[in-house]
Amino acid sequence: MSENKDQKFVYDFTEGNRDLKDLLGGKGANLAEMTNLGLPVPPGFTITTEACKVYLGSGEEPAALRDEVSAHLDALEQRMGKKLGQADNPLLVSVRSGAKFSMPGMMDTVLNIGLSDASVEGLAKQAGDERFAWDSYRRLIQMFGKTVLGVDGELFEDALEAAKHAKKVTVDTDLDAADLKKLVKAFKKTVKTETGRDFPQEPREQMDLAVRAVFDSWNGDRAKLYRRQERIPGDLGTAVNICSMVFGNLGPDSGTGVAFTRDPASGHQGVYGDYLQNAQGEDVVAGIRNTVALAELERIDKKSYDQLMQIMETLETHYKDLCDIEFTIERGQLWMLQTRVGKRTAGAAFRIATQLVDQGLIDEAEALQRVTGAQLAQLMFPRFDENAKVEKIGRGIAASPGAAVGKAVFDSYTAVKWSRSGEKVILIRRETNPDDLDGMIAAEGILTSRGGKTSHAAVVARGMGKTCVCGAEELEVDTKRRRMTVNGTVVEEGDVVSIDGSTGKVYLGEVPVVPSPVVEYFEGRMHAGADDADELVAAVHRIMAYADRVRRLRVRANADNAEDALRARRFGAQGIGLCRTEHMFLGERREMVEKLILADTDEEREEALKALLPLQKKDFVELFEAMDGLPVTVRLLDPPLHEFLPDITELSVRVALAEARKDHNENDLRLLQAVHRLHEQNPMLGLRGVRLGLVIPGLFTMQVRAIAEAAAERKNAKGDPRAEIMIPLVGTVQELEIVREEAEEVIAEVEARTGVELKLALGTMIELPRAALTAGQIAEAAEFFSFGTNDLTQTVWGFSRDDVEASFFTAYLEKGIFGVSPFETIDKDGVGSLVRNAVEAGRATRPDLKLGVCGEHGGDPESVHFFHEVGLDYVSCSPFRIPVARLEAGRAAAQPSGSDSR
């Protein structure tokens, strides 16, 4: 990132607005928006993400930054009537990180910048409170020492504990000014011993170092891990907000809190939040002291409470969405420190979107942008069975919904270790902090004994869609002894517990789970219109109806039996996009395929095929019946033949043992020879797909015959079968032409014999780079293309999924080579560009070419948007993902162009 001469790197809060998140970060943009709305925001300014990018790229702040900051600081000092760190009446500022996307607790913040040995006295006089001034100074050295100077935070914590211990008190507030003075001295000594330098006394130096530390924290381990989890690009950088300090710790008429304009768990309107009297902001978010419900503020300070309610209404109407807020009251004066469109649970997202439509604040297209397919997928998770016999041992705050069962672990290291060996774990902590992120990711659910809905555990778990119960105060968590005690029950590490993030209940042992009401609704077992309909189901029903109304992409299912097909239909599938016929050759039928492979003569082969034909036909009749009136794309056999034969090692041992016993088994010997003949080093690129059809006489024609006869039978039964025959792994049009000719002959023969006109479409998968590159030619012989993005990803990247996912994908993800596996979300630049070109070339040859995708990407939210954009006609995915694909197809169609779908 190079700097441009006229670039402006610093914006006063009065200069920005909420649309400048790229430049000012979310926090800075919203502080500016609130300032411009006339809300009480402490004055300040924002250093842009561009400045951060210059610094991260070159290791130096942009040359112009220093002077720009000086100019803004001068203006701020003038407005406040005091100077940064001025000895008799100091201006103090906070230096806070703030990226485009919220990354709670992942980057650094330093408060009370401007305090020094000189100005601490001034602050004491100004506030009329010596204890407060020394407490603020000790907080500064502690935070600055840890985040800016890199001193081990434990050293400060230990000194604080020692001071409390010496005085025989348990809480910080019991330390008086003299104790805190001593503590400051000790902290300064720690800084000197650990870093070899004195704690900086010059206020501007403090500020500049803190800004640099915030820039650096963008690339801290915690931040990087969080970004990967949340798919936040690594090159955005963070802005830095410099804001005049207001104090919530100036006595009982001060305090700090967090509020939501509506309940982030249910979406209901009301007063939701936590308040902590006589405290600074970080105390609430860290969940260190227990807060009171926000409603209590009405009793404590009615004037501020009423003002806050008024502001919350202004914000919700202005943002047209649920907002969350951080505020501070300094001696009866309310200050807004932050607002943003609030994170919410998946269920609340659906409810709020429909509530806002009903309130006339947003329209249906906007409602679709307020929910995501990932949230819908979360709502389809099972829940605990209400009728199960359970042993409830405690209850906390329902912080993030879901039903999680796992073995109790009490530290992140064990959580990661056990989950790597396949165990499901519940991470139990007194409270979590950013160092627990690894363990939180590894765990099925998170349980804490302290902290409210806005504690670190709750905020992060909600962001990850992970079940969380927090603030379960009756739990006594003993991390050292790896156990917890709840009302006399002892839970040791490894004991199974179940936690319900929707009710906050904690159970001992494994509680059985049942399907979610949303799945019951999709299954047709629960009706959205019924009088007692679940509020959530009603909201999902409405949003799905909006999506179905606007979407252009059709949604089909990957299914190969009638049961899956029927479920897919209930879930809204408009056809089958991929029936993998190899699944019909397993189980008892495997031996028939074995006979086919072992056949030495034409007669033997024909006999084997004859035996398979009626079975295949029956499968197709059932499938066409289940999907009557809807298209069903049947793919001819794809996998390499060795998949139908016994394992090579097992068989070799069997033959060797038999030989040793002189007990020859002719069939085993023939089998072993066939296995050797068909054994492939790289089966993904070997004898499979259309290549099989071309070298095994009669195989594909048997399948085509079965399809044609099944379709004829369904037509005769007054059904409406709409079969499409799909040839896999085609690389050149010649392959397709040969198979096509043979297929057409068989179809014509069946039509003549049965007297039924079949109209079977013939098409191909595009799953090899050569097919994509010659799509224009291939379209001459294909009535439709279905992109097989699983194989296309493997062949474009040159790696086989089974091998690479286990061996080096984690390293690639860690190194940021890809943010997400290309098997999960389509690689737009590589695989995607082949798809785009093939769409264009195919349509140029055959304007009415039907285009779909049946790789797993068909059910991935981000990929669905891509397929919409390149103009496919449909996506096909597993039955369970159909609602997600329908929703995302609707979101893609309703999305204003150029906007971010996140």
Using CB under 6 A as the binding rule, whether residue 860 contacts ligand PEP is answered as no
Shortest distance, position 791 Cβ to ligand PEP, whole Å: 3
The answer to whether 879 touches 626, Cβ cutoff 8 Å, is no
What does the block give as tokens for 565? Answer: 């097909």
Using CB under 6 A as the binding rule, whether residue 791 contacts ligand PEP is answered as yes
Radius of gyration of the chain (CA): 33
Shortest distance, position 790 Cβ to ligand PEP, whole Å: 3
Using CB under 6 A as the binding rule, whether residue 583 contacts ligand PEP is answered as no
The answer to whether 765 touches 728, Cβ cutoff 8 Å, is yes
Using CB under 6 A as the binding rule, whether residue 789 contacts ligand PEP is answered as yes
- Closest CB to ligand PEP among 572 and 788? 788
Contact pattern for ligand PEP over residues 587 through 626, marking x by CB under 6 A: ----------------------------------------
DSSP single-letter state for residue 147: I
Options 9-17, 144-152, 425-433, 786-794: segment touching ligand PEP (CB under 6 A): 786-794
Which residues fall within 8 angstroms of residue 203, CB to CB, at 6 or more apart? 84, 85, 90, 113, 114, 116, 119
Site of tokens 């914000």: 315
Can you tell me which of 433, 503, 790, 833 binds ligand PEP, judged by CB under 6 A?
790
212 binds, among ligand PEP, Mg ion, none (CB under 5 to 8 A by kind): none
Using CB under 6 A as the binding rule, whether residue 735 contacts ligand PEP is answered as no
- Closest CB to Mg ion among 3 and 791? 791
**Rounded distance, CA 395 to CA 387, Å?**
18
- Closest CB to ligand PEP among 466 and 857? 857
- Closest CB to ligand PEP among 272 and 874? 874
289 binds, among ligand PEP, Mg ion, none (CB under 5 to 8 A by kind): none
DSSP assignment string, 801-813: HHHHHHHTHHHHH
**Rounded distance, CA 193 to CA 187, Å?**
10
The 10 Å CB-count burial string (b at 16+, else e) for 843-867 is beebeebbbbbbbbbbbbbbbbbbb
- Closest CB to ligand PEP among 120 and 796? 796
Catalytic residue among 52, 72, 243, 456: 456
User: CA angle 373-376-381, nearest 5°?
Assistant: 130
Stretch 519-538 residues interacting with ligand PEP (CB under 6 A): none
- Closest CB to Mg ion among 345 and 558? 558
56 binds, among ligand PEP, Mg ion, none (CB under 5 to 8 A by kind): none
The answer to whether 112 touches 244, Cβ cutoff 8 Å, is no
855 binds, among ligand PEP, Mg ion, none (CB under 5 to 8 A by kind): ligand PEP
What does the block give as tokens for 403? Answer: 């039903």
The answer to whether 728 touches 739, Cβ cutoff 8 Å, is no
Using CB under 6 A as the binding rule, whether residue 264 contacts ligand PEP is answered as no
Can you tell me which of 28, 42, 501, 788 binds ligand PEP, judged by CB under 6 A?
788
Options 50-58, 109-117, 785-793, 879-887: segment touching ligand PEP (CB under 6 A): 785-793
Whats the size of the chain, residue-wise? Answer: 902
578 binds, among Mg ion, ligand PEP, none (CB under 5 to 8 A by kind): ligand PEP
Distances (CA, A) of 744 to 47, 734, 737, 751: 69, 15, 10, 10
- Helix axis angle, 130-143 to 119-127, nearest 10°: 140
888 binds, among Mg ion, ligand PEP, none (CB under 5 to 8 A by kind): none
Stretch 753-772 residues interacting with ligand PEP (CB under 6 A): 767
Using CB under 5 A as the binding rule, whether residue 767 contacts Mg ion is answered as yes
- Closest CB to ligand PEP among 392 and 580? 580
DSSP assignment string, 872-900: -SEEEE-GGGHHHHHHHHHHHHHSPTT--
Helix (H, G, I), strand (E, B) or coil at 361: coil
477 binds, among ligand PEP, Mg ion, none (CB under 5 to 8 A by kind): none
With contacts defined by CB under 6 A, how many residues of the chain interact with ligand PEP?
10
Can you tell me which of 373, 572, 855, 859 binds ligand PEP, judged by CB under 6 A?
855
Contact pattern for Mg ion over residues 783 through 812, marking x by CB under 5 A: -----x--x---------------------
What does the block give as tokens for 81? Answer: 């009537």
Options 313-321, 485-493, 783-791, 862-870: segment touching ligand PEP (CB under 6 A): 783-791
The upper half-sphere exposure of residue 481, i.e. CA atoms within 13 Å in the direction of its Cβ, equals 9
Please name every residue paired with 475 in a beta bridge, in sequence order, or none if there are none: 486
Shortest distance, position 727 Cβ to ligand PEP, whole Å: 12
Name the nearest CA neighbour of 586 among 545, 628, 644, 636: 644
696 binds, among ligand PEP, Mg ion, none (CB under 5 to 8 A by kind): none
Distances (CA, A) of 65 to 17, 50, 57, 92: 21, 11, 15, 20
What does the block give as tokens for 217? Answer: 């924290």
Shortest distance, position 711 Cβ to ligand PEP, whole Å: 23
* Ranges of H-type helices in 664-816: 666-678, 690-695, 699-716, 733-754, 769-773, 775-778, 789-797, 801-807, 809-814
CB atoms inside a 10 Å sphere around CB 452: 23
Site of tokens 């100036």: 250
The answer to whether 435 touches 222, Cβ cutoff 8 Å, is yes
854 binds, among Mg ion, ligand PEP, none (CB under 5 to 8 A by kind): ligand PEP
The question of whether 854 is a catalytic residue gets the answer yes
Distances (CA, A) of 837 to 89, 552, 792, 855: 67, 20, 14, 18
565 binds, among Mg ion, ligand PEP, none (CB under 5 to 8 A by kind): none
436 binds, among ligand PEP, Mg ion, none (CB under 5 to 8 A by kind): none
The single-letter code of the amino acid at 346 is: A
Shortest distance, position 577 Cβ to ligand PEP, whole Å: 9
766 binds, among ligand PEP, Mg ion, none (CB under 5 to 8 A by kind): none
The phi and psi torsions of 635 (rounded to 5 degrees) equal: -95, 130
419 binds, among ligand PEP, Mg ion, none (CB under 5 to 8 A by kind): none
Catalytic residue among 854, 857, 865, 868: 854
Helix (H, G, I), strand (E, B) or coil at 820: coil
**Rounded distance, CA 25 to CA 586, Å?**
55
Shortest distance, position 787 Cβ to ligand PEP, whole Å: 7
**Rounded distance, CA 5 to CA 296, Å?**
52
- Closest CB to ligand PEP among 164 and 836? 836
The answer to whether 726 touches 851, Cβ cutoff 8 Å, is no
- Closest CB to ligand PEP among 314 and 800? 800
**Rounded distance, CA 727 to CA 703, Å?**
11
Shortest distance, position 728 Cβ to Mg ion, whole Å: 6
The single-letter code of the amino acid at 774 is: T
Residue number of the CB closest to Mg ion reads: 791
Options 34-42, 421-429, 610-618, 765-773: segment touching Mg ion (CB under 5 A): 765-773
- Closest CB to ligand PEP among 580 and 691? 580
Stretch 628-667 residues interacting with ligand PEP (CB under 6 A): 638
Helix (H, G, I), strand (E, B) or coil at 427: strand
The upper half-sphere exposure of residue 333, i.e. CA atoms within 13 Å in the direction of its Cβ, equals 10
Shortest distance, position 13 Cβ to ligand PEP, whole Å: 51
Shortest distance, position 857 Cβ to ligand PEP, whole Å: 8
The single-letter code of the amino acid at 685 is: L
Using CB under 5 A as the binding rule, whether residue 856 contacts Mg ion is answered as no
Options 154-162, 205-213, 407-415, 784-792: segment touching ligand PEP (CB under 6 A): 784-792
Which residues are tagged catalytic?
456, 854
User: Where do contacts with ligand PEP occur on this chain (CB under 6 A)?
Assistant: 578, 580, 638, 767, 788-791, 854-855
Contacts with Mg ion by CB under 5 A lie at 767, 788, 791
